[in-house]
Amino acid sequence: MTMTPEVLRSDPESEYWFAEGCFILERLNTPEDPALSIARARVLAGGVTRWHRLHGITERYLIEQGSARVEIGHGAGMLVQEVGPGDVVIIPAACPQRIHNTGKCDLVFLALCTPRFVPEAYEDCSADAAD
């Protein structure tokens, strides 16, 4: 694959609500660049995403704004931690996860996926998880 120099402009009007419980603004997600996707996620104050996992995709959250509590994994090995601006959260492929906005403003973070996010990899596992 040959990449060419290019600048991709953000279009705030293309933000959409995702049933996971957050707004998504795709920044980069094309078959021409299958190694990586980048999306901006926004969780409203007090909001929490559904338990979910991505099969075959490692995800990283780069927290840009707000405060949150992430929950990653399950059982005795579950990671539960408070995060804020500048923190990077690493979520291995197929690992159950969710994030709570614990602040009074929108939680905003970049979701970087390798390889790129595809809808077929997404699994809602809320029914399997204990709250």
The Cα-based distances of 62 to 90, 109, 127 in angstroms read: 9, 5, 27
Q: Assess if residue 93 is contained within a domain.
A: yes
The domain that contains 97 carries what CATH number? Answer: 2.60.120.10
In a domain, 4, yes or no: no
- CA proximity to 6, closest of 33, 40, 24, 38: 33
pTM: 0.93
Considering the domain boundaries, does residue 77 fall inside one?
yes
DSSP 75: G
Tell me the per-residue pLDDT of 21-73, one tens digit each, with 9 for 90 and over: 999 999 999 999 999 999 999 999 999 999 999 999 999 999 999 999 999 99
Which CB contacts under 8 angstroms, 24+ apart, belong to 11-17? 15/40, 15/42
- Report yes or no on 20 lying in a domain: no
Number of structural domains found in the chain: 1
* Residue span of the structural domain in which 111 resides: 37-128
Locate 77 and state its tokens: 């090995």
Residue 57 belongs to a domain: yes
Q: Is residue 111 in a domain?
A: yes
